[in-house]
Amino acid sequence: MPDRRYDALVIGAGPAGSVAALVLARGGARVALVDKARFPRDKACGDLVGPRGVQLLSDLAIDTPPITTVDDMVVVGPTGRRVHLPCHPGTTYPGYAFASPRASLDATLQEAAISAGAEAFVGRASEPLLRDTTLDGFVLSGGERVHADVVIGADGASSRVADVAGLVDATRVLWGFALRAYVDDPVQVPHIVLWEPAAWRGFPGYGWLFPGVGGRANVGLGLGVLSDRKAGARAAQDFDSFLEHLWRLGVVDAHLAPSSVRSRLGGWLKMGMVGTTPARGRVLLVGDAAGLVNPLQGEGISQAMQSGRAAAEAVLAGPDAAATQYRAHLASAFTPYQSAAAPAHAALLPRPRATAALGRLLTAPGVGRMIAGGWSIFWNDLLEGAAPGPARTLASVAARVGRAAMAPSRTHRWFSDELAPSGPPASVVGHRTALI
């Protein structure tokens, strides 16, 4: 097949990749948008888009598919106590989120990118194409040879682009694994469940029950495993026990049988950015490929779309400086939160008793109600743009204390080391890419 050349090649058409392609195409760039699947396709996810994501879709004038609007959240503690977390509007985002199955949301975003002028390909990024030792595109599994001035990796936690470009230190990545299913339950309020499979032995993650569309809810269980990916199997092993816990607590409709839970699907997460160099030369990583998942509560769609937009705007400003501009954006938009949250995540996971104690403390009588507003803002990374008031003040204090407490950690230091100004282009050595 003849070689094809574009201004940008986006590998992966999920929320990050489709938003990047959309912004690039609207800016006049010639864009190739590649995904291994034909849309619509399903995806393991909690299906919630947070307030920042809602605002971004509005800013880009993207019409959403059928959704269920949600605002406040309930956290269920290890002892069954509930804490109501309010979702107040900020100065730069609304006071609500929405639920939409990924099958329909992702198809909507991909179609918006195509309508804007991006050219879609179905296939896997196979053999890397080089120009003067730098990554210049890919041969796709369908045989197409696609070259581009800039390659954007939006291909998920196990990114082929990141691997080929040598941008991941697998020993540092904060891996997570989540399993979700659907259940017929017209739940109206998102629930986060802090679970103890055995007394005072906190599960190294959390479970959820989120509203869906058409009377169907999304139920799931996610855990962090640090660099031990074998431990991800625990999500499937403990899933039925977790469902029984939900039934005992009355979180799930007591009249529903466990057999009503269907469409189980799991997926890997890279959390907190740690272990992944987000951009170098003319290779930029967005969304899960860059590890842009909240390590404390697992949100990733909003961050994915924000990063896709930022990467596209950096490329449109000039491909030669795109990596530097994009890294600067990530340092400004995400590092203040992630540099505290990621080390806290890494510190708590190996300590089930500490995890249990923290969950019980946060949901203890009187405590949860007193800190709920600030907890909601901090936990959901909504401090920037939060409306002035006691909740914002509390969240700001929590953020400062968290950064100070985590500053000595190796994980915290990674942010200042990796988000410094960009280095030279990515250069391929043999079958791998090294940075020279």
Ordered by start, the domain boundaries in the chain are 3-70+92-172+271-340
Phi, psi of 146 (to 5 degrees): -115, 115
Cβ atoms of 35 and 61 within 8 Å: the answer is no
| CA distances from residue 411 to 228, 302, 403 in whole angstroms, order as listed | 16, 23, 11
Sheet holding 68-70, edge to edge: 48-49, 97-99, 68-70
Residues comprising the chain, all counted: 436
> What average pLDDT does the structure give for the chain?
94
Averaged pLDDT for residues 138-162:
97
Please give the CATH superfamily to which domain 3-70+92-172+271-340 belongs.
FAD/NAD(P)-binding domain (3.50.50.60)
Contact status, residue 300 vs residue 270, Cβ threshold 8 Å: no
Q: CA 307 from chain center: how many Å?
A: 10
Name the nearest CA neighbour of 305 among 315, 293, 295: 293
The mean-pLDDT minimum among 36-45, 54-63, 244-253, 425-434 falls in 425-434
* Sign of the CA dihedral running 67, 182, 107, 157: positive
What is the rounded distance in angstroms from the CA atom of residue 210 to the CA atom of residue 218?
Answer: 5
Of the given ranges (244-258, 282-296, 301-315, 338-352), which has the lowest mean pLDDT? 244-258
Residue whose C-alpha is closest to residue 291's, from 106, 403, 156: 156
Which residues have C-beta within 8 Å of that of residue 410, sequence separation ≥ 6?
none
Digit-coded pLDDT (tens) for 375-415: 999 999 999 999 999 999 999 999 999 999 999 999 999 99
Q: How confident is the model at residue 2 (pLDDT cuts 50, 70, 90)?
A: confident
